[in-house]
Copies of this chain bind each other. A is one copy, B any other.
Amino acid sequence: MYTQTRTEIIGKATLRAMITIRELAKASGFSPTTISLVMNKSPAGQHIPAKTKESIRNWARKLGYYPNQFARSLRSSRSGSIAVIVPDVSDPYCAQVLLGVDKALYRSAYLPLLVDIQNSRARFRKYISTLFERRIEGVIAVANSLQLQTEMLDIFANNRIPVAAIGRESSDARINSVSVDNEAGARLAISHLFELGHRRIAFIRGPKAVIDSAHRWLGIVEFAKEVSLPLDSALITQLKDTASSSEGGFEAMMRLLRGGTPFSAVMAFDDMTAFGAIQALTQAGLKVPEQCSVVGFDDIAAAAHFNPPLTTIGQSMEELGKIGVSIFLQAREAQHGRGPGVRPIHRMVEPVLAVRASTARV
């Protein structure tokens, strides 16, 4: 094959191995301009005969011509890349969001640059220059965890790069966001338990610093008031760590059990917490859901496969990701259109109750 012969040159050869538009021009007999017009389906080239177009495309395929994106970006001032920042790729929540982002971006002209900051501020900072050097046109950040605070995203907004924060409402007005309606989700969860006849319900609240915790708690308090359900402070505990984890859930449940106040159901901050809580219950000889119902939040992939399959509040992370992309595209459109008059976009997705086998009638 042609390209293979050319790669015999060693050293810096890697990129040179590809054929250039001028070489393609020479080989095909057309000029670089014509080729460019054809390859990009430019409006300016609409009067080029179909025969010519056909011929050029054939030559391109035959010689393996792939236009150099760097030259293109340099000329056009468009990088076609967008940063997707996640606190931790191996976290199932992030993974699901990523899936949605990817699906949505796939149809667009943008390529995602995945930045996994692994819960480290230092890593985040080190990536910033890389992203600027690559001239990213936007940022989509999964900001559900503590580690990726929206303030950190200010640097992008300062440089007029549109930012979409996923999973947490931003305090900065210039930062767009999508998140689940935490309050509504919490209501769904507690009302599910309430309808099953549970009256003595325990709560494992999320870390204080996570804004979602507060919103979810608000939903609980309001629902409780409406149906006159008393909230016993002996049945309320809080995750200690900054991040949620199965271990945290385990410990929280141990505290509740040691407390001695009886309860027939638990509402956990999220699924990981619920997993830990169920393990603690099982270990204490209590069967779920027969002796204690458990409900989680998030509906991560593992929830459905857990033993027992977990009843939880789904928030379609995939949807969050897709909306994140659409927000970016919209923001970018607005930026191009009128410049300054861009309003921040905030959207919420509706939570859904996924009833599985970890909850039962009293």
Q: Hey, which bits of chain A sit against chain B, CB under 8 A?
A: 1, 3-4, 7-8, 10-18, 64, 66-74, 76-79, 88-92, 95-96, 98-99, 102-103, 106, 111-114, 116, 118, 123, 126, 129-130, 132-135, 137, 158-161, 246, 272, 275-276, 278-279, 282, 301-302, 304-309, 335-336, 338-339
Contact = CB atoms under 8 A, between A and B. Distances in A.
Contacts of A275: 305, 307
A160 B17 contact: yes
B102 A137 contact: no
Contact of A158 (B4, B123, B306, B307): B4
Copy tally for this chain in the complex stands at 2
A336 B15 CA distance: 12
A283 to B, nearest CB: 9
Nearest to A7: B160
Contacts of A15: 73, 77-79, 135, 137
A133 B66 contact: yes
Contact of A102 (B89, B99, B304, B338): B89
A301 B93 CA distance: 13
B90 A99 contact: yes
Contact of A305 (B11, B103, B302): B302
A69 B135 contact: yes
A98 to B, nearest CB: 5
Contacts of A301: 90, 92
B77 A74 contact: no
A342 B301 CA distance: 42
A10 to B, nearest CB: 4
Contacts of A64: 159
